[in-house]
Homo-oligomer: A and B are copies of this chain.
Amino acid sequence: MLLKKTQYALYALLNLARNYKKGPVLISIIAEEEKLPKKFLEAILADLKTQGLVNSKKGKGGGYYLIVPPEKIDIASIIRSFDGALGLLPCATINYYESCSQCKDENKCALRSVLRELRDQTDHFLKNISLLDLIEKEKSLEMIESRRS
């Protein structure tokens, strides 16, 4: 399961992506629109700024805004930066690798071998979804739903 923080970060980024190149968005607006706890959101946006995905402007007319194009931000990297590894075991990850104290020889560990495969599959899946993809998906879901009524 993802951390709340990760989930909130994704919602916040989606909001900013929808307003890409439309000027800064207030923290309070994002918090309200996405129903996120404001103070918590502040911390998340600060992280995203450190990561170089967003920037902020102080004073009247200020707020946060995306500085990387939505099609260049993929979900895998966002999840990784907040939640950490995608793999299910430390010995089955790439970026967060840690050897496993149980195994005599990791290269003979069937569990690791299989979970590595899964990790690669998951990584591949998430790496190929950008914020822009999500926004477009939103629109098409909207269409489908409205056609129902």
Contact = CB atoms under 8 A, between A and B. Distances in A.
Interface of A: 1-2, 7, 10-11, 14, 34-36, 75, 79, 84-85, 87-90, 101-102, 105, 107-111, 113-114, 117-118, 121-122, 125-126, 129, 134-135, 137-138, 141-142, 145
B137 A102 contact: no
28 contacts: A1-B84, A1-B85, A1-B87, A1-B88, A1-B89, A2-B89, A7-B89, A7-B102, A10-B111, A11-B111, A14-B110, A14-B111, A36-B102, A75-B114, A109-B141, A110-B134, A110-B135, A110-B141, A111-B134, A113-B137, A113-B141, A114-B129, A117-B125, A118-B122, A118-B125, A118-B126, A121-B121, A121-B125
Contacts of A10: 111
Contacts of A2: 88-89
A131 to B, nearest CB: 10
Contacts of A114: 75, 129, 134, 137
A145 B107 contact: yes
Contact of A107 (B111, B129, B141): B141
Nearest to A137: B110
A146 to B, nearest CB: 9
Nearest to A102: B35
